[in-house]
Amino acid sequence: MATESAAEKTGPGAPPPLRAVFLRLGVRALLLALALFVPAGTLNWSAGWIYFLLYCAWSFGNARLLHSRSPGLLARRVISFQVSSEPWDKAFIFISAPLFACMLLICGAEGPSCDWGAPGVASECAAFLGVAAAYALGTLALLSNPFAVGVVQVREGQSAADSGPYAVIRHPMYLAAICFSFCTPAALGSVSAFVPAVLLAAAIFCRTVLEDRFLTRQLPGYGAYAARVRYRLVPGVW
């Protein structure tokens, strides 16, 4: 079990200080900007700015929404440090961050010099819509599941989420993450970045399977929920 979060210590549902949340999110946004624009060697990159501003709009807007709707979850995702007890989940966390960073760095190095003409612009626009859709799905999943922290764990009083997107698929957060991984290189105009993107998506896919097995064993009622909601990621497929 993870250690008690700061919000939980101050009382059930007590919101974390919004200033502290925004400070941490600001650091993440800065790291994202550095990963994109330092290898790019220029600030004259419209796709990079759109990607960065889209991230900032979602990150801070999502935090503001969770601050009022699910403060405990916001504290656990942003303020407190969560530890997984599962070796395979620790391995995923260990490899996913470098893969994501590598994807962004390659996008920064290749994106500004890419010129695919009109078809490329249309593809980038579609990819940005995919990124926005992934953000929206992620927010819906967070609002529907107060236990959707960044590590695999079962907390006291936890139950299987079955509302919102969880009424259709069992792992909407992972679907959003996979969509985000594939759309990022396309939005930023990088072909080589699809290599770490595919590896990251494959790691998320494996985590989906392993987490499903873990929850079936450890979370009361999850077996019945899985029998009712048959598909893990894609309705009608898997």
Token digits for 19?
Answer: 């200033």
**What pTM does this model have?**
0.88
Residue 14: per-residue pLDDT: 64
In Å, what is the CA distance from 17 to each residue of 4, 21, 22, 27, 63? Answer: 16, 6, 9, 16, 11
Question: Taking 50 as the threshold, does the pLDDT of residue 6 lie above it?
Answer: no
On average, the pLDDT of the chain sits at 88
Summarize pLDDT for 161-174 with one digit per residue, the tens: 899 999 999 999 99
Confidence of residue 123 (pLDDT cuts 50, 70, 90): confident
Question: Taking 50 as the threshold, does the pLDDT of residue 9 lie above it?
Answer: no
Q: Which helix (H) or strand (E) holds 157?
A: none
Summarize pLDDT for 206-217 with one digit per residue, the tens: 999 999 999 999
Backbone angles phi, psi at 162, to 5 degrees: -135, 15
Residue 180 · residue 128 · CB < 8 Å: no
Residue 10: per-residue pLDDT: 34
Confidence of residue 119 (pLDDT cuts 50, 70, 90): low
Q: Is 13 left (phi over 0), alpha (psi -120 to 50) or beta?
A: left
Domains of the chain: 6-228 (1.20.120.1630)
Residue 51 · residue 29 · CB < 8 Å: no
